[in-house]
């Protein structure tokens, strides 16, 4: 099984640790591309219009400044540096590399794809940021990620918990069984996509899969059954809705697992 995760805008700066070393990241064949993106980010972040170029509020000037210091910043495991909704919901910070059974990859505009336990430094860069010479970033990364990741994804069950911008960076090969994870809220006859719920339940599912000591699901149907059991045991999402069902449908070359929530 391969679990695909997005990054999060919210990040925690490690208090202690080693200085960031790009050579420690998974998929070293991507390092030349990472260097190009990092150099472009450093250049933009050093400019007076950095907040506009990076689509970041002027109130986040400390994060822009941090972009210029990545090479000498303290690094920490990605599962602890990223602290957004998905990571919090799945308690991913509590995981250790020795304990997990599934392979989990984190996709980001800066690193391309990295392991969940790779040591990274905090940064601020969205996949939609128009960095000079390397934008649009999703298209820039696509051929390089295909070369690195297609061989490891073939014949695997791929659980895609990424948002659409990060899905565009890499599509698993046809030989993989791909299941994207979505969430809808039902009120009467109306179905609404709620991005916060999607992040939350993707995190719950990813955390459960990474902690499970039981055999991993091997099929889309097996994953759907597993997802429903996990959601039922977990209880309501933070806004009070509960998961009433899990749907599995085929769309655009992949299976779509949809958590259906309602009050």
Residue 215: the pLDDT is 84
Cβ-contact 125, 165 below 8 angstroms: no
- For the chain, the domain total comes to 1
- Given its phi and psi angles, is residue 206 left (phi above 0), alpha (psi -120 to 50 degrees) or beta? alpha
Residue 194: the pLDDT is 85
pLDDT digits over 94-134, tens only? 998 876 666 999 999 999 999 999 999 999 999 999 999 99
- Mean pLDDT, range 184-197, rounded to an integer: 92
**Number of neighbours of residue 60 by Cβ within 10 angstroms:** 14
**Number of neighbours of residue 154 by Cβ within 10 angstroms:** 13
The residues, any chain, with a CB within 8 Å of residue 142's CB and separated by 6 or more, are 168, 169, 170
Pair of tokens at residue 222: 């097996």
| Helix, strand, or coil (residue 206) | helix
Task: Provide the residue range defining the domain that includes 53.
Answer: 2-262
Pair of tokens at residue 21: 């070393």
Query: Whole-structure pTM over 0.75, yes or no?
Result: yes
Q: Please, which residues bridge with residue 81 across strands?
A: none
The residues, any chain, with a CB within 8 Å of residue 69's CB and separated by 6 or more, are none
- Between strands 177-187 and 190-193, the pairing is antiparallel
Residue 213: the pLDDT is 76
């Amino acid at each position: 099984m391969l679990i695909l995760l997005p990054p999060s805008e919210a990040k925690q700066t490690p208090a202690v640790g080693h200085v960031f070393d790009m050579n420690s990241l998974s998929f070293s064949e991507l390092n030349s591309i990472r260097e190009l993106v990092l150099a472009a980010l450093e250049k933009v972040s050093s400019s007076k219009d950095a907040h506009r170029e990076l689509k970041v509020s002027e109130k986040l000037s400390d994060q822009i400044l941090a972009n210029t210091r990545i090479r000498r910043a303290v690094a920490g495991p990605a599962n602890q540096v990223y602290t957004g909704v998905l990571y919090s919901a799945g308690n991913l910070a509590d995981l250790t590399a020795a304990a997990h059974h599934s392979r989990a990859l984190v996709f980001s505009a800066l690193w391309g794809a990295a392991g969940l336990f790779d040591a990274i430094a905090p940064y601020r860069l969205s996949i939609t940021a128009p960095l000079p010479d390397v934008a649009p970033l999703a298209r820039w990364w696509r051929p390089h990620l295909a070369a690195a990741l297609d061989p490891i994804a073939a014949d695997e069950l791929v659980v895609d918990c990424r948002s659409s911008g990060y899905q565009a960076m890499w599509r698993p090969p046809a030989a993989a069984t791909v299941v994207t994870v979505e969430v809808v809220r039902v009120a009467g006859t109306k179905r609404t996509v709620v991005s916060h719920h999607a992040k939350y339940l993707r995190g719950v599912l990813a955390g459960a899969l990474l902690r499970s000591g039981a055999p991993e699901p091997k099929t889309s149907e097996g994953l759907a059954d597993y997802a429903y059991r996990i959601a039922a045991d977990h209880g309501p999402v933070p806004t009070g809705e509960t998961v009433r069902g899990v749907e599995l449908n085929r769309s655009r070359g992949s299976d779509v697992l949809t958590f259906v929530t309602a009050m």
